[in-house]
Chains A and B, each alone.
Chain A
Amino acid sequence: MATRDELSEFLASVERRAFKQAQFAVRDSDAALDIVQDAMIKLSENYSDRPAAEFPLLFTRILQNVIHDHFRRQKVRSTWVTLFSALTPAGDDDTDPLETLEALAGSDGAESAGDKVERAQVVAIIEEEVGRLPARQREAFLMRYWEDMDVAETAAAMGCSEGSVKTHCSRATHALAKALRARGITL
């Protein structure tokens, strides 16, 4: 069984990645933060008696479930608000291009300012394209290559076969490589 410190340490180590994964899925920072908080609470309330070694897989599963629940709720909600959707202004983008530049201010001078901006833009494009992958492909790809889960663990977390995981990963890789190439990025 895990102690409070172990749980705290684990949550701190995964919270940013969890946020990004949720953000890729729902494309909304506030919703992504709520999702991460829900997932953390569920882990804390229901599974904190488990050994700390089980946390990564459990949390990944919980996070995926909470994301799916979010879409389910959104679907139900959207049936009630369809009539009003036309009134919301289209093309509202919360992201401020200057934020990227602000984040770069004050960092070390090993890289030139131009390189840093370029690198930040590449990272932003990669994140954008990862976010555009079909949900299952993105989940499989991120679990395998970002969370270091093996095929069996990914299959368990996604509730599918190992063959499906391999297929999802392969398709995600090809789709991502193609999309990045189309935007002039070669890794």
Chain B
Amino acid sequence: MNQDEFGYRIRQALDEGLDRLDYRTTYRLEQARQVALARQPAAQAERGWAPALQTAGGPPVEREPAGWARRLGLAAPLLALVIGFVGINQYQESEESRRISELANMDFAVLLDDVPLETYADKGFGALLQGESDEL
């Protein structure tokens, strides 16, 4: 009998021994398998490798499953960001134009007033105006 044939006979005997394992052993092996499967990284268990968002100091954040939900998850924050920028810009523009028109009105009032411009540079006139406004 050559080596391969001998090995094959031994293999048959060992396989037979596997079928005779007692219940306790097979049960514990099954438990061990379940424990091992539970320790499989979640991303790989579901769909193999998938990119994850890394947070500062925190664990990687798994993305949503592929499909419309994932696309929506990415698009919604971007849309909110754009809307935010537009809103801020419009608010700033309206605030600025209000201040410009206020200043312009003031300039017009000063220029159209009968009081000469030099008067406004006089400290006494400023104090007089202040006193009048306090009285009002």
Contacts and interface: CB of A to CB of B under 8 A. Distances in A.
Interface of A: 1-4, 7-8, 11-12, 15-17, 19-20, 29, 33, 36-37, 40-41, 43-45, 48-49, 99-100, 103, 119-120, 122-124, 126-127, 130, 141-142, 144-146, 169-170, 173, 176-177, 187
B17 interface: yes
A138 to B, nearest CB: 11
Contact of B10 (A37, A41, A100, A187): A187
Contacts of A173: 3, 6-7
Contacts of A130: 10, 14
B33 A15 contact: yes
Interface residues of B, number: 35
A29 B27 CA distance: 13
Given A40-B35, A126-B10, A19 B29 contact: yes
A145 B7 contact: yes
Interface of B: 1, 3-4, 6-11, 13-14, 16-18, 20-22, 25-26, 28-30, 32-33, 35-37, 39-41, 44-46, 48-49
Contacts of A19: 21, 25, 29
Contacts of A20: 14, 17-18
Nearest to B29: A15
A126 B33 contact: no
A48 B13 contact: no
